[in-house]
Amino acid sequence: MVGRVMLNSAIYLNTLRSHVDTPVRLVIAGFLLLLLYLLVSGGVSVNATTMSGIGSLVMGGNSLLSMLVWLLGLGLISRDIASGSIQLVLLRPLSRASYVLSKWAALTSVGLIVLVMMYGTYLARHTMTIDSTVPVILLFAAQCAQVAAIAAVITLFSTVPMKFGEFGLLILSALLLLTLQLLNLRYGVAILDAAVTLAWRILLPNVTITPAFANGAYQELIVGMALNSGVAVVGVAGAVGLMRWREFTYAEQGG
pLDDT digit string (tens) for the chain, length 255 residues: 344 568 888 899 999 888 777 788 888 889 999 988 888 887 666 554 555 678 889 989 999 999 999 999 999 999 888 888 888 887 777 889 999 999 999 999 999 999 999 999 888 887 777 777 888 999 999 999 999 999 999 999 999 988 788 999 999 999 999 999 888 887 778 898 899 999 999 999 999 988 888 778 899 999 999 999 999 999 999 999 999 898 775 444 443
CA distance 49 to 78: 41
Residue 12: exposure state from Cβ atoms within 10 A (0-12, 13-18, ≥19): middle
- Reduced to 3 states (helix: H, G, I; strand: E, B; else coil), residue 112 is helix
Specify if 252 maps to a domain.
Answer: no
> How many other C-beta atoms can be found within 10 angstroms of the C-beta atom of residue 199?
16
Specify if 179 maps to a domain.
Answer: yes
Q: What is the pLDDT of residue 166?
A: 92
User: Which residues have a Cβ under 8 Å from the Cβ of 233 and sit 6 or more positions away?
Assistant: 152
- Reduced to 3 states (helix: H, G, I; strand: E, B; else coil), residue 79 is helix
Specify if 171 maps to a domain.
Answer: yes
Complete DSSP assignment for 146-190: HHHHHHHHHHHHHHSS-TTHHHHHHHHHHHHHHHHHHHHHHH--H
Q: What is the pLDDT of residue 44?
A: 63
The whole-model pTM stands at 0.90
| List of E strands, 44-110 | 45-46, 49-50
Specify if 1 maps to a domain.
Answer: no
Specify if 55 maps to a domain.
Answer: yes
Specify if 136 maps to a domain.
Answer: yes
User: Which range marks the domain in which residue 77 is found?
Assistant: 8-247
CA distance 115 to 110: 9
Q: What is the pLDDT of residue 236?
A: 97
Q: What is the pLDDT of residue 95?
A: 87
Cβ proximity of 234 and 151 under 8 Å = no
Specify if 152 maps to a domain.
Answer: yes
CA distance 181 to 196: 7
Total of domains in the chain? 1
Specify if 255 maps to a domain.
Answer: no
Q: What is the pLDDT of residue 134?
A: 87
